[in-house]
């Protein structure tokens, strides 16, 4: 299975800055067959970057999209409008859940809309610090995973990527702390078990599972060697060219 390194730029970079960054990134890295590099710029930058990028090296992801293909939804951008422009879309990120109030029902509709429009959804799930402290991690992961996949049938499960991103490990949160490989392994095993119980063992094994949460060059290798982890969702470090390239290089070495 391919290893994925996904850089989520969030609300950073102007269109010009994003273009310069992508140019430098494309120039700095070769085409890695076993490592899929993806960047998720702001919506405004997606179209011009889609004309600039070399999709053999780097693919684009949207950070969000709306589940309706068209209609009276002022300010929204649909998956159908993104079709052919991006290959991936981040869905259910904790900032969409906890800051902007998206629930599992809406997230499930977005996952289904992404697949319908031939865009791979990267379904983010993860518990808060208080939920972990009260022993609710397993329940939260199960609810978010099965809730987000509720519109996905057996034949489409292989078209989904799951990203475990515990809210307490995201560097932008006040309570941020570094997740240990053991903590990650425990939840990744749970994710695989839930998928196997719901869709079957073979189908569960086809789903890439990523980890996200304060990923840096210094810990990327440890995270990528956790059994069942197929890549990383990178936040702050993806904004620093040298650090993002280092993480990609780590992924390549691990794959070798």
Q: Which residue numbers are catalytic? A: 93, 165
Q: Which of 69, 22, 56 is nearest to 42 (CA)?
A: 22
Q: In this structure, what are the phi and psi dihedrals at residue 12, rounded to the nearest 5 degrees?
A: -135, 155
CA dist 123 → 144, 152, 160, 234 (Å): 9, 12, 7, 14
CA dist 148 → 78, 81, 105, 112 (Å): 18, 22, 7, 9
Spatial separation of the C-alpha atoms in residues 137 and 135, rounded to whole Å: 6
Residue that the structure tokens 């992961």 belong to: 141
Note whether 92 and 43 are within 8 A (CB).
Answer: no
Q: Name every residue whose Cβ is closer than 8 Å to that of residue 88 and which is 6 or more positions away in sequence.
A: 6, 38, 40, 59, 60, 61, 62, 119, 120, 121, 122, 161
């Amino acid at each position: 299975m391919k290893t994925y390194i996904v850089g989520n730029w969030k609300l950073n970079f102007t269109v010009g800055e994003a273009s310069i960054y992508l140019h430098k990134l494309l120039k700095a890295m070769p085409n890695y067959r076993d490592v899929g590099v993806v960047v998720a710029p702001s919506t405004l930058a997606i179209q011009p970057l889609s004309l600039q990028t070399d999709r053999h090296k780097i693919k684009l992801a949207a950070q969000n999209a709306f589940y309706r293909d068209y209609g009276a939804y002022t300010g929204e951008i649909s998956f159908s409008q993104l079709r052919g422009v991006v290959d991936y879309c981040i869905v259910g990120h904790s900032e969409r859940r906890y800051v902007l109030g998206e629930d599992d029902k809406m997230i499930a509709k977005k996952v289904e809309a992404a697949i319908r429009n031939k865009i791979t959804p990267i379904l983010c799930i993860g518990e808060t610090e208080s939920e972990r402290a009260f022993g609710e991690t397993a329940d939260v992961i199960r609810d978010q995973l099965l809730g987000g996949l509720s519109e996905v049938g057996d034949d489409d499960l292989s078209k989904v990527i799951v990203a475990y991103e515990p809210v307490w490990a995201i560097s932008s949160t006040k309570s941020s702390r570094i997740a240990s490989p053991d903590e990650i392994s425990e939840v990744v095993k749970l994710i695989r078990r839930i998928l196997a119980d719901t869709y079957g063992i073979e189908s569960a094994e086809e789903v890439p599972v990523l980890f996200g949460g304060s990923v840096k060059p210094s810990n990327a290798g440890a995270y990528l060697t956790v059994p069942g982890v197929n890549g990383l969702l990178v936040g702050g470090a993806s904004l620093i060219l040298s650090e993002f390239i280092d993480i990609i290089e780590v992924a390549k070495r691990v794959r070798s």
